[in-house]
Structure 1
Amino acid sequence: MKGLKFAAILLSLVFLIPVVAVTFFGGPIARSVVTSLNDRLQGEIRIERYEVAFWSTFPNLSVGLQHVEVAGSDGSELLAADRIDFLLDLGSLFGKIRVREVVVRDGQLQLLTDADGNTNYQLAGYTSVGERTAASDAPAEPTEFNIGEAIFQNVGVSYRDRQLNVDLAGRIDGLTFTGDFGTTNYLLSTDGSIFVDYLDQQGDRYVSRQQLIVTASTDIDNAVGVYTLAPLHLEVGDLELDVVGKLQPTKDGFQTDLRIDSESGSLADVIALIPPAYAGNLAELETRGELLLSATVRGPWTERAYPRIEGKLDFTDGRVGSPRVNVGVKDLDLRATFNYLDGPKGGVQTFSIDKLTGEFRRQPFSMTLLVEDTENPTVTFEADGAYALETLPALLGEGPITDGGGFLRAENIRITGKYKDMLTPRGMGRVRAEGRLRVDDAELTVRGRELNFPSGNLELLGNKMRLQQFAFSGPGTEITFTGEATNLIPVLFADSLNTNDAELIFDARLEGESLDLDELIALSGPTEAEEELAEAAGAVDSLRARTVSDRVRISDLLRGRFDARLEEWNYGEIEGKDFIGQLNFTPGRLGVAGVTVAMGGELRLDGDVFFTERLRVEGRVAGNRIDVKEFFEQGENFAQKVLTSDNLTGAMDAQLWIESAFDEAGEFDYGALRVLAHLTIIDGELHDFAMLENFAFALKSGDLERVRFTKLENYFEISDQTLYIPAMFIQSSALNMDLAGSHTFEQELDYAIKVNAGQAIANKLSRHDDELEVLPERQGWFNLYYTMKGPVETFAVEQDKRAVKAAFERSLLRRQRIERGLRSRFGG
C-alpha cells in the first residue's frame, strides 16, 4: 500500500514539476530563446507575444512566438511571420536550452544581395554552449542550436541579387530542411514545394507561375564554401530534372560545375521554362512524344560572365496541338543543341535547332536555326515546306486573329547575318536573305472579319522584297498589290517604340474592283465582343488607348507610295467609282491625291490623314457638276435638319477645305470640324422647304411646293459646331432675297433676311407661273427686313432693319476671310 502511494506521489511529481516549471519559468524560457537568438544574429528579432506549452508536444517543450519580425544583417526586414514555433528538449527546463525544430508559418521572407555580394542574411556563426552574456533583464541558460528540422509553411519569398541581376518572387507552400545546422560540414536534406511567380535574370523572365517540387540532398561545407548537390531533384509539371555537381559562392557570384539530366516529361514542360519573352504563346501548346535532355553547366556565373552550357534536347515521334485550334503537327522531330566553342578571342555560346521537321495536314515542312555567340548573335535561319495558317491563333495567342486556313509555302528561305544588323535598315545591307514565300488559298479571320489571300508571291532579295500579284479580298474589298519594298526584316523585328527607326519603304501598284475603307479601318479597332468585355470590366479607356497606340505604331513604320486604280470605293455613306490617284505613306501620315467619279459628278481629292492619338483628316476637295441631292444625302445633311437632301436638286461646283478629327473612341468630333467652302449651284430647285412658310405673305400657294433658281453662289464656313453663311443674294422663281446668318449643330438659327417688298407684293398678286421662271433681279426702294432666331422647332421671325443691316456688314468681313483662306489653299 505504501509502495502504491509512493508511486502515485512520484508519478504526480513527474507531471507536476513540468507544469509548475512551465507556469513559473515559461516566460524566462521564451525570453531566453529570443535573447539567445538576438545574441547570435546580426539582426534584431522582435516579437509581440509568446506562449509556452508542454502537453501538446510531450515529451518536448514548445515555445511559440507570435507576430515576429527579424531584421537582416543590413538593417532591412529579413522575415516577418505571424508565428514561429520552437520545439525544445525537455531538459531545457532544467539547464541548457536545446532547439530541436523551428516552424515558420504565414509570413514573408526577403533575401537581398547587393552589388558587392553582401547579403542581408549574413547570420553570425555558431558558438559553443556558454559563450554568451546573459541579458540583464532576463537571465537565460545557454542555447544550443542543434536544430533537427527547419520547416516553412505558407511563407512568401522574394530574392533580389543585384550582383547577378536576379529577381525571384514566390511562395513556399511547405518546405522542410533537415540537417545538423550547428556543424561546419553537414548534409542538408530538403523536401517540399515552391510556387514561383517569376524568376527574372538580366530583365528576362525565365520562369513564370510554375509549381516546383523539390527533393534534394546537399553536402554543405562552410569551411571552404562549397555546396555539393547529390542530387537535386526538381519536378515541373511532368518534367523531372536531376541536377548533380557543385556550386561555390565567390566574390562576384558563383563557380558552377553541374550536370542536368531528364528522361521524362514533355516538350511543353521544357517550353514552359523558356523565358516568356522568347517563348511567346508556345507555352500553351500541348505535346506528346519521347523527350531526352542532358546538359552540363560549368564555369563562373557573375554579372558579366555566364557559365558554359553544353547539351542536347531530342524530341521524337512527336505531336503538337493547341486548345485554340483543331489542327496540329504530326511526326514532329526536333533536335536542339547547346555548344560552347573556343575561339581566338575566347569562347562563345551557341544554340542551334539542327532539325525541326513534321507535317501539317499531310503537308511536310522543315526548319533549322543556328545562333552563334548568344552575346552578339549571328543567326542563320532556313525553312522549306508548307505551314498551315490554321495554327496562327495558337502561336499568336489572344489577339485579333481567331481563325485561319490554307497554307504559306516557303521555298528555299535562307536568312543569315548578325542579329543586330537585322534590327536596323543600315545594317540590313550586311544580311543575306533569299527565297520565296507563296500564299495558297490563305484565309484569316481578323476581328470577326474573314479575309482571303487567294494567291501571291513574295520574293526575298537581300533587303528587298518583291511582291507579285498579291491578291486580297475582304468585306467590300477586292484588290491586288504588285511592287517592291525594302526593310521588311527590320520592320518585323521593330519594338513597340521603334527605337531603331525602321521603316518599310515601298513603291507599288494597287488595283482592284472595290475598296471599303470603313471595313479596313475596323480591322485595326476592337471587336464588339472586346468592347463589351472592356465596358463590363471598366477598361474602355485602356482598350481605346491600346487601339490608338497600335494604329500609330503601324503607321510609323510605313513610307512609300501606291499608284491606285479602283473601280469602286466607299467611306461611310460616300460612294465613288473610277478612282485614279496615289496613296502616299510617311510615318504617321497618309496622303491621298486623285480624281474620282462620285455624287453624280467628278471629285478631285488632295488630303492627309494624320495617325496621332486623335485621328485627324484635312485636305482639299474640288467638285465639278456634283448632284446636290446626293451631296447632301451622302454628307448626312451636314448635321442640320433645316435644308436636307429631300429639299434640293441641281448641279453644283464646289471648293472645300476640310479639317476634321475623331475622338479617343473613334467617333467623329464635330467640335474639331472646320470647313471653308465656295459653292455654286446651277439650275437648282427647292422642294417643300418649310422655312418658306414664314414668307407666305409674299408667296402663292404653288410657290411653297417647288421653287426654281438659276444660280446660287456663296462662301460658307463651319467652325465651333456652327454653319456660317455670309450675305448672299438668292434669286428664284418664288422670291428674291438677301440672306446672312448662322445655324448651329444644336439646331439654333440666327438669320438676317432682306426682301424686296414691292416685288413680293407684285408676285403675290400675279398668277402662279407653272414654268417657274426666275424673277428678275431688282433692288427696290421699299424693302422688308426680318430676323429669324431660336431653335428650329420654335424660332421667332421679327422685323428689325437695324439688326439685319448690321448682320450683313459683319458677314462681309467673314466672306472676305473665307475667300482669302480658300485662295491660299487652292491657289486662286
Structure 2
Amino acid sequence: MPSWSKITLKVLGILIGLILLIFSALALYVNSNKKSLLETITQKLNKNLHGTLTIASMEPTFLRGFPGVSIKLNNVVMKDSLWKNHQHTLLDAKELEVSVNTLALLKGTIEIKKIGINDAAIYLFTDSNGYSNTAIFPKKDKSKKPKDDNSSSPELGKFTLSNVSFVVDNQKGHKLFQFDIYDLKGNMDYLLLGGWEADIKLKALAKSLAFNTRRGSFIKDKLLEGPFKITYNDDSGILLVAPNKLNIGKDPFIIGAKFDTSKENTDFTINIETKNILWRNASALLAPNITAKLNMFDLKQPIHVYCTLAGNMGPGGDPAINVKALIKDNVLTTRGGVVEDCNFTGFFTNNYIKGKGINDENSAIKLFSFKGSYAQIPFSIDTAFINNLNKPIATGLFTSQFEIAKLNNVIGEEMLKFGNGTANVKLAYRADIVDFMLAKPFVKGVVDIQNADVSYVPRKVNFKNTAISLNFTDQDLYIKNIRLQSGKSIVSMEGSVSNFLNLYYTNPEKVLLNWKIRSPELHLEEFIGFLGTRKPKAKKRSKKSNFSENLNELFEKSQVNMNVKVDKIYYNKFLATNANADLLLSENGIAIKNVNVKHAGGALSLNGSIAQKGSTNNFKLNATITNVDIKNFFYSFDNFGMKTLTSKNLRGYLFSKTNISGVISDKGNLLPNSLYGSIAFDLKKGALISFDPVKNVGKFAFPLRDLDNISFTNLNGKFDVRGQKITINPMQINSSLLNMDIAGVYSMSTGTNITLDVPLRNPKKDAEITDKNEKRARRMKGIVLHLLATDGEDGKIKIKLNRNRDKTK
C-alpha cells in the first residue's frame, strides 16, 4: 500500500473515532443532564409566551438527528393564558421531535433546526368576542431591535407533521377549518430582508372548510395531496402561496393564494383552476347551499373552471366567490330538458353589486355566447343573465332558426303537428326561475313562421303553406301576416291578445284573442272539425304540466273574438258572398253576431249561438232574409229536410224573420226533427211550380186552369216549428189558380193535419177589380170546398173533403 494511502486511512480513522468520541460524549452529557436540558428547552420554548408550555418527558434520539442532537419530547401541551375560560388547547402532541444544533448545545444554548409533531391535535380557537388562543404568541414590535441573539425566537429549518388534527374554529367569523393531516413535510429558509420561504408537501383529509358555518363546508371529506411553495414577508405581513398543482379528491387543481396577516382579521384571496373536471365533481366541492342549486344541472363532459375566493377571517360571513367556466361541445341536462352541442362561457359571482352584501340575493350568473340544440332545434343566446339566486330572475336574448317540423319533438303531436316550413325566432325574455326552470316568462320580440304545414289535431283541421308572425311586446301579443290554406280555402289573419303572458300562466280562460279574418274564398266543410268536441280533451293544468299541456289547455279555455270578412263562402250547396260576421269562440261554443251575407240575389243577416255538447251542436239563430230567391234558398239548405215541397216547386223572392233553434251533428248535418222556433215570411212574386199535391186535386177540380205554374201576388204567413211538425198559422193564399185559407200542422213524418178552405171561384174574374174591400168581399163568394190534408196510407199527403167542418162557413 502506498504511504499516502496509509496516511489517509489513519486520518479518516482518527476523524471517525473523534466524531464517535464526541457523539458518545454528547450522548453521555444528554443522558446525564436530562432534567436540566428539559428545563432549558422548556424555558426556551416558554420564553415570551402568554401562556404555558409543558413537556412530560424527554428522550435523546441521536441517530435521527446525526450529526446533530435530536430530542423527543413526549406529551407536549400548549395552553394560552385564558385556557380556563374557553377550554381549547392550542397544542396537545403525544410526540414532538426537536433537532438542535450540536455546537450551540455545547455552548449551552438551544438552536432548533427541525421540529416534528406526531399524533397531535392543534386547535386555533377564536371566541365570539374576537379573542384567540393564538394570543399565546406575542406580536413582534417592529420598531424595537432585539438586544441579543438569545432574545430572538427560535428559527426552524425543517418541520414535519404526522397524524395531526388541525382545527381553526373562529366563532366570531362563523368559520370552521378542520383537517386530518396524514403527512406534512416542510423546509424553511429565512430571508435577509425579513421573512421566510417554505416548501411543503401535504397529504391531508379536509373535514371542514366552512367560510360560513351557517352555509356548510367546501371540499368536505376530500383528500388533499400536493406541494406548496409559501413566502412570508415580515414587513408587509403578506403570505403568498405560489400557484401549484394540488389534487382534491381525484381531480387535479392549480391553486395559489394570498393572505394579508397585517390586518386584524387576515384578508385572503385563493385562486383555483382546473382544466378537466366533471360538473358533479366540481359542485361536490362547494358549500351545500351552492351544491344543491348546481346539481339541478349536469354536464356530460369535463369542463375548464377558474375560481377566486376572497374574504377575511373575521366576522365577514361568506367569502366573495367569482367563477369562470368554459363549456365546449358538451351535453347540458336541466329539469326542462337536454341541450346538445352546448357551448358557452359562464360567470358566477355572489357579490354582483358592490356594497349589497355577499349572499344569494346579490348573486348572479352570466352566460355568454350560449349555443346549443334543444330537441334538435338549434338556438343561441348572446347573453343570458340570472340574478338573485334566492328568487332567481333570468333575462336574455334568444335567437333560433330551424325547420318547423322539429317543434313536434318539443310540444308533441296531440295538439299541433307540423310538417314543412321554417321558423325564425328572436325573443328577449325575462322570467322567474322555480327549481331552476323558467316560470311565467315575459318575452319581447318576433317569431316568424313561413311555408309551414300544420295540423290542428283536436279538430282534425289541416293547413298548407301557412305563414305566421308573432310579435310579443312587454305584456301583449300581436299576430300578423298570417296566411292559412286548407284545401281550397285561403285565409289571411291578424290579431292581438292583451296581457297575454300573465293570463297564459294564471287564468287561461280569461285570454281573449281578437282576430281580423279576411278570405277571398272559404269552404266551410274544410273546417267542419270545429263542430265536434276537441279530441283529446286538454289535461287540467298542474305544477308538473309541460309547455305542450299548458298550450293545449290555453287553446281549449281561451276565448276568440273574430271579425270576419269573406268574399265567397261555400258549404255543400250553399254559396254566400260579401260575408261579414263577428264571432266569439269560447270553451262552451260559438256566439254569432252581426252576420251579413249576400245570397241568392238577396241578403241574410243573423245573430245566434252554437253550444257544443259531445258530438252535437245546439244552435239558436235569429235571422232576417231580404229579397232572396226562394228557389236557390231552398236548394242551398236541402229544402230544410222537406221531401214534398222542394226548390223545384218554388219561385219568388223571400222576405223572412226567423227565430229558430236546432241541432247540427259534428259532421255538419242538420239532425232530423231538431228544429224549434218560428218563421215569419213574405213571398213576393211567388209561384208554385208543378207541386204534386195541388196538381192531384186540381186536375179534377180545375181541369181548365194552369196547375203547373201557380203565381202569388203576395204570400205571407207564420210557421211555428216544433221538431217534426210545422204549425201553419191561419193564412190566406191568393194565387192565379185559386184562393184559399189554410191552417194546421204539417208533419215531416206522420201527423199532418191541414185545413184548407178553397173557393171554386176563378180569381181571374176578379182581376179587374181595383177596390180592395170589394175584392176581399168577393174572394169567398160561390162554392167553397172545405178540404183536409192528412197522412195517406202510402206515406204521402192525401187531400179529402173535411166533413167535420161547418159547411155553412
Normalized against structure 1, the TM-score is what?
A: 0.48
Greater Rg over alpha carbons, structure: 2
